[in-house]
Amino acid sequence: MIMVLKRISSNGRSGAKEPEDEFPRLKAITRFHKSAYEINGSSEALFDDCPFCGGQKFYFNVEKGLYSCKSGSCGKEGNLVEFLQWSHENAFEITLDAHYTRLKRRRGIPLQTLKRHGLAFHDQLNCWLIPARGAKGTVVNILRYFEDMEGNNKFWTPSLPSSLIGLDQVSSDITKPLFVVEGPFDLMAIDRHLRKNKHRDRYDIIAVPGSRTFKEEWCEQFRDRTVNLWFDNDPAGNEGYEHILKRFREANVPVTLKRLIWPCDYPAKYDVNDLVKNTPKLSLPTFYRKHSTELEYDDGFEFNFTRASSVQHVERSFLWEDRIPLKTMVTLGRDVGQAAPAILFCTVLQNPIRSSRLPATPTQPVRAPKGFLPC
């Protein structure tokens, strides 16, 4: 028998490296059940007490992720996700208004909104439990939020993948604009704002775990939708827009992507929650329309440089000889006012001696904006 005594600290996290690093599912359950345990030869962790009945025969199979209580008439059993769902429901039932009031003072979000999104305070762990639900409404993961912790204070359950938040509230109407925000509190803030202004039924909202956390398999959830990305006013937020654009290109899922460009008079790290809290009369949809731009989902085309000696020369007559002068730029399907990058590029090509912008090697490609056709 392998005997390992392990006691979890009051915040639900432990500094010891084993055996939890060897068994990720064990690490997950000890984040929610504060009790000492020992591991037997059957790969089962025997805990000092059962969270359901208080008995002393609560077992958790560290390889299969299954729990069972063999104390008297208890008989509780299930898998890891079911245990997380029970932990959340149990904490939610005993969360007091005093807990919500304290969080309201910190985040500026009303009590009824916090309750509607299922936030529950876990006394033993001294943290908030924020459930992530699948499309069918069942809990698939739980985000632990330690409100008094500096720096990174949100942690997903070990051994379970990070999740989108708000999927259970997304409608099947793909014509609705979909706001994608950064983190659960931005989602709650915009949800509260839209409900207050009687516009909630016009929009869907989803929160990503972080601006740079977006999995390719999530792309299908957004197929054929207009997706309004709205991240924090910081470098990570800007990188997040490009990261998500890349993910959709790789997945080849058709979507209209837009992003917010924060006005220059807003401070660094400003987010949706700050905007709602500090400017309650502001219309968020109007603000977004005014300060957003569409991301180029199409890759466009490339100018590829090669040596003239490698090009086969074929004589062609120009179809529009009397209409388009040589050495000019023609734009198709786009405002001429947006042609500046391509015009500048052609200027460089026409003045190679005075320019240092040409590629260093003959085969180095140069990106061109979609819709431009050089002559």
What residue type is 288 in one-letter code?
A: Y
Q: What is the pLDDT of residue 1?
A: 33
Calpha distance 152→148 (Å, rounded): 11
Residue 7 pLDDT exceeds 60: no
Q: Which has the minimum average pLDDT: 63-72, 197-206, 296-305? A: 296-305
> What average pLDDT is seen over the chain?
81
Q: What is the pLDDT of residue 41?
A: 81
Residue 351 or residue 229, greater confidence: 229
Q: What is the pLDDT of residue 314?
A: 62
Residue 146 pLDDT exceeds 80: yes
Q: Which residues of 81-95 are buried (b: 16+ CB within 10 A; e: fewer)?
A: bebbbbbbeebbeeb
Q: What is the pLDDT of residue 283?
A: 95
Domain ranges for the chain: 164-297, 314-374
Average pLDDT over residues 29-43: 87
With a pLDDT cut of 90, the percent of the chain lying above it is 58
Most confident option among 9-18, 79-88, 333-342 = 79-88
Which tokens in the block code for residue 153? 């204070």
Which tokens in the block code for residue 341? 């990058």
- Give Cα 366 distance to the centre of its chain: 31
Which residues have C-beta within 8 Å of that of residue 69, sequence separation ≥ 6? 50, 52, 53, 55, 57, 58, 59, 75, 76, 77
Calpha distance 39→113 (Å, rounded): 42
* CATH class of the domain whose range is 164-297: alpha beta
Q: In degrees rounded to 5, what are phi and psi of residue 331?
A: -110, 135
Q: CA torsion sign, 345 to 348 to 349 to 350?
A: positive
Q: Which has the minimum average pLDDT: 18-27, 39-48, 119-128? A: 18-27
Residue 184 pLDDT exceeds 80: yes
3-state secondary structure of 179: strand
For residue 334, name the pLDDT band (cuts at 50, 70, 90).
very low
Q: Which has the minimum average pLDDT: 149-158, 245-254, 323-332? A: 323-332
With a pLDDT cut of 70, the percent of the chain lying above it is 74
Q: What is the pLDDT of residue 293?
A: 92
Q: What is the pLDDT of residue 262?
A: 95
Average pLDDT over residues 19-46: 85
Residue 255 pLDDT exceeds 80: yes
For residue 22, name the pLDDT band (cuts at 50, 70, 90).
confident
pLDDT digits (tens, 9 = 90+) for 218-228: 999 999 999 99
Average pLDDT over residues 114-136: 95
Which residues have C-beta within 8 Å of that of residue 346, sequence separation ≥ 6? 327, 329, 374
Positions of E strands within 211-360: 226-230, 256-260, 292-294, 301-303, 329-331
Q: What is the pLDDT of residue 341?
A: 55
Average pLDDT over residues 121-129: 94
Which tokens in the block code for residue 229? 């990305």
Q: What is the pLDDT of residue 305?
A: 61
Residue 204 pLDDT exceeds 70: yes
Residue 310 or residue 228, greater confidence: 228
Q: What is the pLDDT of residue 368?
A: 46
Average pLDDT over residues 144-150: 93
- DSSP for 146-170 reads -TT-SS--EEEPTTS----BSGGG-
State the pTM of this model: 0.73
- Give Cα 165 distance to the centre of its chain: 8
pLDDT digits (tens, 9 = 90+) for 68-105: 999 888 999 999 999 999 999 999 999 999 999 999 99
